[in-house]
Structure 1
Amino acid sequence: MATHAFASAPRDRAFADINITPLVDVMLVLLIIFMVAAPTLSRAVQFDLPRPNPNPPTVNDKIKLGIQADGSITWNGAVQPYSALQALMAVEAQRDPAHPPTLVIKASGDADYGVVTRVLALARSAELDRIAFEQ
């Protein structure tokens, strides 16, 4: 009789069965977790959406303010001294308080940062809250 390294098991021995008890236990635990969590996922969240405005706001004016590298300031294309900016901004802010104009600032890449921050401070003190920057 020849012996082989991989001899097959005798046919009369029973095959080993897979133990599915741990698998069933895990599935039952997952089922219970989902049964507990499912009602909380189906609750409606109440919140109030904003109502559309029947009267859309009018298009506000835009004020173009330029700050050059040498520190000069232009107001809608006209060169203005820094000392006149506060009065100009106050007049524009009071013209239509319900719809204040947008201050569009175009600062040169070489402009002094201090000048830009002083202009922003003047706009804030004049209550010009709508400010945009242009490249």
Structure 2
Amino acid sequence: MAASPLSHQHAPLSGRRIFVVEDEYYLADDIGKTFRALGAEIAGPVGHLEDALKILHDGSVLDAAVLDVNIRSQLIFPVARELKARNVPFVFTTGYDRITLGPEFQDVPLLEKPIDLSALAQKLAALIADPRN
């Protein structure tokens, strides 16, 4: 019997490695738990820009990412630029307005805090399936 399409819906991130950069410990933990429950492997979560860059350069595969715009008073844009250059889909999370992203990242989905984790997971799954979403 073939696998049901429904099984994919219950684990939309199954087998995917999701990079999580978030400096709010409880939110990072919640994102990690939610994505693991959906079948994902988590790279991180990390809460420092330097740690994010280490993961980015460790040679491992990243299927998608969740990036907090402001990590301990540093902007996440160097990581975002590199992900974009590698064609790795990502979303930004922030408590700030989209204007803080500037024109370079206007096409990147932005989820405002507090984060709806279900909506975040759905958005990432859609981006992995079709990065133009």
TMscore range, shorter length: 0.3 to 0.5
* Higher share in strand: 2
TM-score (norm 2): 0.34
* Higher share in helix: 2
Structure number with greater Rg is 1
